[in-house]
Amino acid sequence: MSGPNSWVSPLVVVLKLSGDIRSCLDMRQANMAVNRERYPIPTIDEVLQDFNLSKFFRKLNPNSAYHQIELSPESRDITTFRTHQGLYR
């Protein structure tokens, strides 16, 4: 990452109970820049109605997919963070 950036989050090092360290980002300032979209959760009746004539179902595990979502180019500057080796995004 090079060049000026108006969003830079600090790196925070946390000591685990095991004695190991965990690197974390303090993203509180960046979180204020995020425009959240709201999607109402459908009721059980609505879901059952949508599945009424379905023949095939798929189970997905979103936990392993979280880091696979690509950010849009205009959103990437918000994720910039600082380390002792420079800025990263």
Question: 8-21 pLDDT, tens per residue?
Answer: 898 889 999 999 99
Q: How far apart are CA 20 and CA 14, in angstroms?
A: 9
The confidence score (pLDDT) of residue 60 equals 76
Residues of the chain with pLDDT > 90, as a percent, come to 20
Q: What's the CATH fold of domain 1-36+72-89?
A: HIV Type 1 Reverse Transcriptase; Chain A, domain 1 (3.10.10)
pLDDT > 70: what percent of the chain? 91
Does residue 17 or residue 84 have the better pLDDT? 17
Mean pLDDT of 29-40: 85
Q: What is the DSSP letter of 18?
A: T
Beta strands in 5-64 (DSSP E): 9-15, 21-25
